[in-house]
Amino acid sequence: MPVLVLLAEHSRAHHTVRVADRARRTLPQGEVAVLPGATHHSLPLTAPEQLNGRLMDFLG
């Protein structure tokens, strides 16, 4: 099953690098992306073009 893990670079809800590393190890066929400049709560507002682009590429 295709999986996309989108993470915010400056999240205070979790440690982005650790979550990304674990996701890559756990889901070797999945895609992991870190959106620069975003926080956990501002993800859709900080980088809407990047977020939408990643989602469209994945779903397209």
User: What is the dihedral angle through the alpha carbons of 21, 13, 43, 54, rounded to the nearest 10 degrees?
Assistant: 20
- 11-40 residue pLDDT tens: 988 999 999 999 999 999 999 999 998 988
Domain edges within the chain: 4-59
Q: What is the pLDDT of residue 43?
A: 81
Q: Which residues neighbour 8 within 8 Å (Cβ) at sequence distance 6 or greater? A: 16, 34, 35, 38, 39, 40, 42, 43, 46
Q: What is the pLDDT of residue 44?
A: 84
Which letter, b or e, does each residue of 23-36 get, where b requires 16 or more Cβ atoms within 10 Å of its Cβ?
beeeeeeeebbbbe
